[in-house]
Amino acid sequence: MEGSHKTLGEFIIDNQMHFKYSSGELSRLINSIRLAAKIVNHEVNKAGLVDILGSSGDTNIQGEDQQKLDIYAHDVFMSALVNREIVCGIASEEEDEFITVQGKHNAHDNKYVVLIDPLDGSSNIDVNVSVGTIFSVFRRVTPLGMPVREEDFLQKGSEQVAAGYIVYGTSTMLVYTTGHGVNGFTLNPAIGAFYLSHPNMKFPKTGQIFSINEGNYAHFPQGVKDYIKYCQAEEDDRPYSFRYIGSMVSDFHRNMIKGGIYIYPTTTKAPKGKLRLLYECNPIAFLIEQAGGKASDGYRRIMDIEPTELHQRAPIFCGSLNMVEKAESFMQKYPDDSKY
């Protein structure tokens, strides 16, 4: 894809008319995420030179070891969003509960809430493999002037007003949507600016890549096992290439550019799935649909799932439209597996 000399800041200004409630706050919110991404990118690139590798010794709400860089990224994004008084609440995968943000003069008058996975795939940091940040933005449902409540965060993915991710790889990219297509911006580290490099990103209708942790094969539902066998069969344009990085942002980003499917299903060890609906599945699903792909739990659209808790988990099948629909056809032979 050919980009342009347009910066992310210029692009945001040029496209403000697309925002349903155009008062500048959503633009400032995206700008805050841009700033935080540059700071985290700088720290990621120093991994190995400063004491940022390894576990912090703590665990998060999911009982997972927190990496030092998890906590650093969480603090940076929190600070960028709170200090600019743009949002009324933030929920992070690294925190048990959401936080309330007060605006000027202690008035709870900001319109947006952000849900964020500050550092997706952070266990890969120690081995110099790409990691990322995922974010999701909703317009609050509670009245202005009062503190946010849990229902502001427990909205279906179809209500998102913006979503995106940053991938910290061989180059650092910020990819996002506000419901008018998907655009990617690459950081020029020499001058510290993101430039439009991947305008109007689209998922190929089909692809040659399937991404899944086959180490869990024995624990997969039968429909997933059958689909894997289909991918591996020597027929037509198959077998497909198996590619799995273990960082959702990286796997997703590759598949959007090249065409492919990413699957993280339920397992006997994780009967509700492992990825978080609000911090990972919903924002990725919004991006996928805006890029012409599909995201489901194997049976229903991800963005139609009604959340009931902040750290709810869900299985996900996402990527190129034809590949996801083929995977769903295998899953739907086993309707009992839909009751996760």
pLDDT in tens, 57-79: 455 455 555 567 888 899 999 99
Fold adopted by 8-198: Fructose-1,6-Bisphosphatase; Chain A, domain 1 (3.30.540)
pLDDT at 225: 98
Model confidence pLDDT, tens digit, residues 76-92: 999 999 888 789 999 99
Q: What are phi and psi of 165, to 5 degrees?
A: -150, 160
pLDDT at 47: 60
Q: Could you tell me what percent of the chain has a pLDDT over 70?
A: 89
Give the alpha-carbon dihedral of 226, 229, 234, 236, to 10 degrees: 40
CB contact set of 155 (below 8 Å; sequence gap of 6+): 138, 141, 307
- 280 annotated ligand-binding residue: yes
Sheet containing 260-264: order of strands: 241-242, 209-211, 260-264, 316-319, 294-296
C-alpha pair distances (Å), 9 with each of 29, 38, 138: 12, 14, 21
Quick check: 3 pLDDT over 60? no
* Mean pLDDT lowest among 35-44, 45-54, 220-229, 298-307: 45-54
- 32 annotated ligand-binding residue: no
pLDDT at 123: 74
Model confidence pLDDT, tens digit, residues 278-289: 999 999 999 999
- How far apart CA 236 and CA 212 sit, in angstroms, is 22
- φ/ψ region of 66 (left if φ > 0, alpha if ψ in -120 to 50, else beta) reads beta
Q: Which of 248, 151, 255 is nearest to 203 (CA)?
A: 255
- 51 annotated ligand-binding residue: no
pLDDT at 43: 83
pLDDT at 70: 81
Domain locations in the chain? 8-198, 209-333
Average pLDDT, the chain: 89
- 122 annotated ligand-binding residue: yes
Report whether 101 contacts 78 (CB < 8 A).
no
Model confidence pLDDT, tens digit, residues 135-159: 999 999 999 889 999 999 999 999 9
SS3 state of residue 98: coil
Give the alpha-carbon dihedral of 4, 209, 295, 19, to 10 degrees: 0
- How far apart CA 276 and CA 316 sit, in angstroms, is 10
- How far apart CA 63 and CA 61 sit, in angstroms, is 5
- 334 annotated ligand-binding residue: no
- 117 annotated ligand-binding residue: yes
HSE (side-chain half, CA atoms, 13 Å) at 224: 28
CATH 3.90.1150.10 fits 209-333, yes or no: no
Kindly report the pTM of this predicted structure. Answer: 0.92
Q: State the DSSP string of 122-151.
A: GGGGGGT--EEEEEEEEE--SPTTS---GG
Quick check: 54 pLDDT over 60? no
- 123 annotated ligand-binding residue: yes
Question: What is the pLDDT averaged over residues 115-137?
Answer: 87
Q: Which residue has the higher pLDDT, 327 or 5?
A: 327
- 93 annotated ligand-binding residue: yes
Q: Which of 9, 62, 14, 16 is nearest to 34 (CA)?
A: 9
Band (pLDDT 50/70/90 cuts) for residue 310 is very high
Query: Tokens 């009751």 belong to which residue?
Result: 339
Model confidence pLDDT, tens digit, residues 146-200: 999 999 999 999 999 999 999 998 899 999 999 999 999 999 989 999 999 999 9
pLDDT at 322: 98
C-alpha pair distances (Å), 220 with each of 15, 217, 316: 43, 5, 13
Query: Tokens 């990621």 belong to which residue?
Result: 44
Which DSSP helix (H) or strand (E) runs through 33? Answer: helix 25-44
Q: Could you tell me what percent of the chain has a pLDDT over 90?
A: 70
